[in-house]
Amino acid sequence: MLNQIMETLTPRRMMTVGNLALHFDVEPEVLHPRLQELACDGRVRYAQSRCSGECSTCSTCSSSGSGEPVAEPEPAVDPTAIVISLEIRPSDD
């Protein structure tokens, strides 16, 4: 599955963990160990997305639009985290 992840991610350069999980029809928690392995191998890196917290429409925010904390626990894997491919897509000659 590692090569399949890279085949999906590299042409796009970056995707959120949630979108990548949707692509493979798995939960982000299932994909996370494989992404960690790719990160340890130097094939991908993580970058956190920045949320202003002002729209109150994000289901993964830990605060509501009014700034009040949401009682739900944070997920073990942040589906809004961005995974960036460090591999270069071969050019078409």
Residues 6 or more apart in contact with residue 56 via CB below 8 angstroms: 64, 65, 66
Q: What is the pLDDT of residue 69?
A: 55
The span from the CA of 82 to the CA of 45, in Å, is: 8
Identify the structural domains of the chain with CATH numbers, from first to last.
Answer: 1-51+74-93 (1.10.10.10)
Q: Inform me whether the pLDDT recorded for 15 exceeds 90.
A: yes
C-alpha to C-alpha distances, 22 to 40, 46, 69, 82, 92, nearest whole angstrom: 23, 18, 27, 14, 28
For residue range 81-93, what is the model confidence (pLDDT) as tens digits? 889 999 887 666 5
